[in-house]
Amino acid sequence: MKSLTFIFILFSTLLYSQEIIWATKLIEFSNKFQEENNFADMVLGTANVYPDTNLYSEIDPFAEGYILKFLNIEKRNKIIVGLKKPIAAEQLLIGGIFNSGTIQSVNIILSDASTKKNVYTFNGKSSIVKFYDFHVFFPLATVLGIEIEINHKYVNKWNLMKGIGVTKYNEAFDLLPYEANLGGYDLKKVLIDENIKGGDCFLFNPKITPDGNTMYLVKECPGSENSQDIWVTKKDDLGHWSELQNIGRPLNNKAANFVASVGHSGEFLVVGNKYNKFGEFAGDGVSISTKDSNGVWKVPEAIEIPKYVNKNPNTNYFLSYDENYLIYAAEDDKSFGELDLYVTMFNKETKKWSEPIHLGSQVNTFFSEDNPYLANDGKTLFFSSNGHIGYGGSDVYMTRRMDDTWQNWSQPLNMGTMVNTKTDDRGFILSDRLDYAFLNSASADKDHNFDVYKISLPNRFLDIEMKDLVKTNSTTRVLPKFDMKSDW
């Protein structure tokens, strides 16, 4: 009987998570907190739920979501969002809600787009607020949109909303990450070395050579002449890393420079941007640098990707171990939202790269996916995202490629709290021996500086089946049923 119970829980968890349909259209909003990164459309897409919402302030750069703070507290404000198509539902869910007491009423817009039904009016009895999720139940209806009215008269603070969705499931549950079950492994996340600390600068984008003895990092210091430079550190016989050294020209110039990946032989680097013959910035893109006979890095030569477009100021790339696939983050007309992940393939006969392939909706979301890393098995992909359900900022996720289309992936698993924090976690890579992972995390200090960490990994980590990694009680935890009476 125990095994049958386990199977039921797993099935139920998968079912509930798939049935949440998140709003994808911003129809109307009346006001918002005027900060650069907190636009109203940040309420769209999957809610990325933080565990420590009450610790954030409205100006915290990691409190990403739709932040509302009104000067006229007598005024009632509203936000109206729409679904991609009409959906049969009987529960509304606001994920990542903060100060839910300001919600005065909720209307659902029915499939004819002209009919509204009130499903919630503030009276302290008709909703469940549990952890960071707000639940409203109503008789089964075909929903096209949601209208939320907010009043700060009695709660004169600010709101954070990270997602508005509906589901046909009629029980309340906690919205939690679909998480990798690494609790049984002795993972330790520590600073890579006391010599490798950012201090007043940011350190990020670690890349390591196959022998594990050389690491390339990006160092960005406020007020410096160059926005971002590539720095290098080497490990001695005792396992200590040397102080960082600027790699110099021609890889560094006045642009934002970074190493995208290291060739499996360690003899070439994939670097961001294009370079002219003098080593100066020559446009967006990606290039390869090799060493000359004296061991000095040459001016990088561009990798030409047909129909490559990126409208986003940020990007990153990763070249696979066999050098046949280049995965990168970009924003173009095919992107769902901000940065999405794409792959281009190298044709050994023509010596040319293919047009990009979008990795699809299982990986990409309304927000940003970036920092891809494809393991040496050619199938396991690690990436960072602030669009999947996570623990804060950008979290690290893992997924496996199911076929050669590059659009069929397993459900991405959040790497859990032993890897991810409430701030940004990015740049996850594996050592060649698969005994360590490296990544950069924003520290919890007031400046949110980035530092580089290493994490010990379990033996044969990549051989663990994805189904064996699923933490079965993580995606949804069912709460006690709330018996709500409807006046419909």
Would 488 be classed as within a structural domain?
no
Would 285 be classed as within a structural domain?
yes
Which pLDDT score is estimated for 417?
Answer: 83
User: pLDDT averaged over the chain?
Assistant: 82
CATH code, domain with 104: 2.60.120.260
One-letter amino acid of 414:
N
DSSP string, 103-144: EEEEEEEETTSS-EEEEEESSSSS-EEETTEEEEEEEEEEEE
CA–CA dist 105, 150 (Å, integer) = 7
Last residue of a domain, one of 139, 155, 176: 176
Would 388 be classed as within a structural domain?
yes
Instruction: Return the DSSP state at 75.
Output: S
Band of pLDDT at residue 36, cut at 50, 70 and 90: low
Say whether pLDDT at 154 is over 80: no
Please check whether residues 229 and 91 belong to one and the same domain: no
Tokens 């990015």 belong to 426
CA–CA dist 263, 371 (Å, integer) = 17
Please check whether residues 144 and 278 belong to one and the same domain: no
Which of 98-112, 211-225, 371-385, 459-473 is predicted most confidently?
371-385
Which pLDDT score is estimated for 88?
Answer: 95
As to burial, measured by CB atoms within 10 angstroms (0-12 exposed, 13-18 middle, 19+ buried), residue 376 is: middle
Which of 172-181, 309-318, 442-451 is predicted most confidently?
309-318
Please check whether residues 121 and 217 belong to one and the same domain: no
7 is written with which tokens? 């199977």
CA–CA dist 195, 185 (Å, integer) = 28
Of 8-12, 35-39, 249-253, 290-294, the least confident: 8-12
Would 39 be classed as within a structural domain?
yes
Please check whether residues 436 and 289 belong to one and the same domain: yes
Would 273 be classed as within a structural domain?
yes
Count of beta carbons in the 10 Å neighbourhood of residue 126? 18
Last residue of a domain, one of 154, 176, 198: 176
CB distance 423 to 443 below 8 Å:
yes
- For the segment 440-444, the average pLDDT, to the nearest whole number, is 71
CA–CA dist 375, 233 (Å, integer) = 23
Percent of the chain scored above 70 by pLDDT? 80
Would 479 be classed as within a structural domain?
no
CATH code, domain with 379: 2.115.10.20
Please check whether residues 343 and 409 belong to one and the same domain: yes
Greater confidence (66 vs 329) lies with: 329
Please check whether residues 204 and 86 belong to one and the same domain: no
Q: Torsion-angle region of residue 336: left (phi > 0), alpha (psi -120 to 50) or beta?
A: alpha
Residue 67's domain comprises 20-176
CA–CA dist 345, 334 (Å, integer) = 18
Please check whether residues 313 and 360 belong to one and the same domain: yes
Greater confidence (270 vs 160) lies with: 270
Q: Are strands 357-358 and 476-478 parallel, antiparallel or unpaired?
A: unpaired
* Domain count for the chain: 2
Band of pLDDT at residue 19, cut at 50, 70 and 90: confident
pLDDT digits (tens, 9 = 90+) for 96-148: 887 788 888 999 999 988 899 999 988 765 667 765 688 899 999 999 999 99
Which pLDDT score is estimated for 473?
Answer: 44
CB distance 329 to 370 below 8 Å:
yes
Instruction: Return the DSSP state at 468.
Output: H
Would 184 be classed as within a structural domain?
no
Last residue of a domain, one of 145, 176, 207: 176
CA–CA dist 42, 56 (Å, integer) = 17
Tokens 């009680």 belong to 473
Please check whether residues 240 and 338 belong to one and the same domain: yes
Give residues with Cβ within 8 angstroms of 124, minimum separation 6: none
Please check whether residues 163 and 310 belong to one and the same domain: no
CA–CA dist 91, 94 (Å, integer) = 10
Which parts of 42-105 fold into alpha helices (H)?
A: none
